[in-house]
């Protein structure tokens, strides 16, 4: 099931990102927050893990097990994906990408793992959140739009009577 897979995927991603921040802070630097990108990455890892634990994981479980209808399950799943995408995977990916492009002082293999995990998570989660947003907006446009009238080709209500096009 997709919600269950997402539940475990983002759990692993958040834990690996926090472990990477702790390994870096413990082993490689005496003052881990001397580098602002490392401090930002660790803080976004912690914020993302908290948002995952408090918001997204319950929504994934609700979508997997307790949703009564398909639309309820889909809405909860999309909201959970959007939460994790915008609070963890996209910010971590941007920070990791800027560290890769700036050629940070020392990159350990866990950095590369977090970079790949955040790349996959932000690409897939961003696409899911974007398509969910487009679906939601198109639904509300359809629901709240004025009822359209069907006007026949030669109806007197037509502003300009339509004539067949000859080729």
Tens digits of per-residue pLDDT, 62-111? 988 887 888 888 889 999 999 999 999 999 999 888 888 887 666 678 88
Instruction: Share the mean pLDDT of the chain.
Output: 82
Residue 27: pLDDT band by 50, 70, 90 thresholds? low
Q: Are 48 and 91 in contact (CB under 8 A)?
A: yes
pTM: 0.75
Task: Quick: pLDDT tens for 34-57.
Answer: 678 888 888 899 999 999 999 999
Q: Which of 98, 79, 90 is nearest to 120 (CA)?
A: 90
The answer to whether residues 80 and 63 touch, using CB atoms and an 8 Å cutoff, is yes
CA 100 distance to own-chain centroid: 22
**For position 50, what pLDDT does the model report?**
94
Q: Which residues contact 38 (CB under 8 A, 6 or more apart)?
A: 21, 24, 25, 29, 32
């Amino acid at each position: 099931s997709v919600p269950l897979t997402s539940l475990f995927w983002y759990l692993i991603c958040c834990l690996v990102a926090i472990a990477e921040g702790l390994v870096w802070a413990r082993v490689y630097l005496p003052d881990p927050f001397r580098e602002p990108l490392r401090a930002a990455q660790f803080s976004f890892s912690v914020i993302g893990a908290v948002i995952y634990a408090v918001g997204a994981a319950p929504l994934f479980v609700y979508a997997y097990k307790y949703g009564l209808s398909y639309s309820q399950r889909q809405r909860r799943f999309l909201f959970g994906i959007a939460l994790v995408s915008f609070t963890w995977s996209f910010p971590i990916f941007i920070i990791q990408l800027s560290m890769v492009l700036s050629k940070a002082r020392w990159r350990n293999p866990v950095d590369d793992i977090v970079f790949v995990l955040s790349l996959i998570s932000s690409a897939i989660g961003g696409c899911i959140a974007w398509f969910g947003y487009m679906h939601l907006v198109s639904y509300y446009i359809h629901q709240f739009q004025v009822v359209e009238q069907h006007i026949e080709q030669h109806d007197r209500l037509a502003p300009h009577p339509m004539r067949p096009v000859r080729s």
